[in-house]
Structure 1
Amino acid sequence: MNVNLTDAPPGWLPINRHPMLVARQLPRAGWISHDLPHGDISPPHQHERGHLVYAASGILSVTTRRGRWICPANRAAWTPARVVHHHQAYGRTDMRIVFIAPSLARALPNRPAVLAVSALARESLLALTGDRPYRPATRTRLRHLLVEEVSTSSEQPLHLPEPEDDRLRALACLLRDNPADTAPLATLGHTVGASERTLSRLFRSELGMSFRQWRTQLRLHHALVLLSSGHSVTSTAHACGWSNPSTFIHAFTSAIGQTPGRYQHDLRHGAEGRPEDGRPAVKPP
């Protein structure tokens, strides 16, 4: 969803007066449905209300200054109010957004997160972002049900923290360009000009995880994108640095809660709920 200031609906304001950064400020809007092409990246923006983002088909990532969250099938990304972020679509993506009133948002994390979506939460979310003209009281009940369902679900370990230290940023750039790189931290440290001990300490102190954990998260993010693009499980495993597909399947299942094959199946059969005409819509509750 690429939007410039001339196309922006009323209430969208620039962030820090930069002409390319557009903030969505829609305090009275209840939901957004938008059909995004593969690779679409929104400009950085923020909302007056927190919101849940769900991909009825395709896959979405949400990026803030704290890192990147990826939102695969049966997951919803929660972004609190006034957190500057941007979205990216992988594959043709049916993006659904439901804005949450502050009174309900208190039940959700005070930071960005990816939350599991039950079948009941999914149907509530699709109903709230569909074309059926529910009465306001019904929409209110659906919102309460949606928040109750996702607030009691497990938070998913799908956050890839963004490093700030220049040496970590250089290392992260290397591995993003080649997730299959199996070089040990000592070798990568030589490339970026830091010792293995220094980098290990920085990963723990700055990102709150080990280098191995961070690299696994990076590879899983890349794997989700490849699988959504139709790559086979075996080719995805190799492209992401797993020499043994069985090891990849185990790591993927542990993090995502389903096998890579099942994940692909759900992507192929998860397009129900898309508006019949496929056109974007922004509507009040």
Structure 2
Amino acid sequence: MQQIRHTPVAPTRAERLPSGTAIDAHRHDDHQIIYAGRGVLAVTTSAGSWVAPADRAVWVPAGTVHEHRAHGELDLHLVGLPTSDNPLGLDGPAVLAVDPLLRELILAHTRSPGDDSPERARLRAVLLDRLRVSPQQPLHLPEPTVPVLRALCAILAADPADNRTLAALGREVGASDRTLSRLFRGDLGMTFPQWRTRLRLHHALILLAEHTPVTVVAHRCGWSSASAFIDVFRRAFGHTPGAHRA
């Protein structure tokens, strides 16, 4: 059984992690903002996975058991907040948009964690104000709880390029496409095509962080062409894969 480390105080710090570095399951009594200034960060909880590139941050509420994994060389920035500071009023993990101002506030705040000066207190106040207006981003990949759905999702997670229909996948896991469609909506809150696209985007972010060429990413993640992949990526993130990597 996996040991869950309990660290009462969520740290505020900056560190560099090599690609593939994993931080095992742990929890804090504080809230925490987890931000990758470079690379892509994957955060996993019992409710699913969140992937955050450099224009996103992950909000992890107090008490949430979570794991981290670095994809690409990662500049990790952690901001610990007491439970009294919940600027968005969120009680579950979420991905937040990070604009240039919020990015600089996070970088400055995490580079001097031991500073108790009035200037740092003002910086922290501005950081909290900026978080209050930071929109949430739909980058959550929910974890199925129904066994047959868990089996199907595991097949696609192992090979996101698997283009079989829901009916064909259903024959492999022993359920009809009608049953599976109902389960996707009821258990995961989205349709099968929506979940598969979200899964492919998660994998695409990780591959891009590892400097995989865009055409190869498109092929490995199941898009029919690089242009089709670029179109979906732009609609999801507001920029092209090439601009994202830059």
Counterpart position of 1:278: none
Determine if the alignment matches structure 1 residue 25 to structure 2 residue 8: yes
- CA deviation profile, 1:95-117 (whole Å, cap 9, x unmatched): 11001233321434221000011
1:81 maps to a residue whose letter is A
Counterpart position of 1:223: 204
Counterpart position of 2:66: 85
| Aligned mates of 1:108, 1:146 — CA distance in 2 | 15
1:206 maps to a residue whose letter is D
2:77 maps to a residue whose letter is R
Correspondence for 2:228 among 218, 227, 247? 247
Counterpart position of 1:52: 33
CA contact (8 A) 1:57 1:73 kept: yes
Counterpart position of 2:156: 175
- CA deviation profile, 1:134-159 (whole Å, cap 9, x unmatched): 44322222222122212212211100
Counterpart position of 1:145: 126
| Distance verdict in 2 for CA 1:88–1:136, change over 3 Å | same
| Aligned mates of 1:19, 1:170 — CA distance in 2 | 22
CA contact (8 A) 1:156 1:255 kept: no
Q: What TM-score, normalized by structure 1, do the two folds share?
A: 0.82
Q: What TM-score, normalized by structure 2, do the two folds share?
A: 0.95
Counterpart position of 2:103: 122
Counterpart position of 1:269: none
CA contact (8 A) 1:107 1:147 kept: no
- Indicate the structure with greater strand content: 2
Counterpart position of 1:40: 21
The alpha-carbon deviation at position 262 of structure 1 amounts to 0.2
CA contact (8 A) 1:62 1:88 kept: yes
* Aligned residues with identical type, % of pairs: 46
Counterpart position of 1:166: 147
2:186 maps to a residue whose letter is S
2:188 maps to a residue whose letter is L
Counterpart position of 1:185: 166
Give the CA RMSD over aligned residues. 1.6
2:139 maps to a residue whose letter is L
Counterpart position of 2:216: 235
| Aligned mates of 1:103, 1:49 — CA distance in 2 | 9
Deviates more, 1:209-218 or 1:254-263: 254-263
The alpha-carbon deviation at position 131 of structure 1 amounts to 4.2
Structure 2: gaps of 5 or more residues: none
Structure 1: gaps of 5 or more residues: 1-17, 266-285
The alpha-carbon deviation at position 77 of structure 1 amounts to 0.4
2:153 maps to a residue whose letter is A
CA contact (8 A) 1:118 1:149 kept: no
2:17 maps to a residue whose letter is L
| Aligned mates of 1:21, 1:103 — CA distance in 2 | 24
- 2:24 aligned counterpart, secondary structure: coil
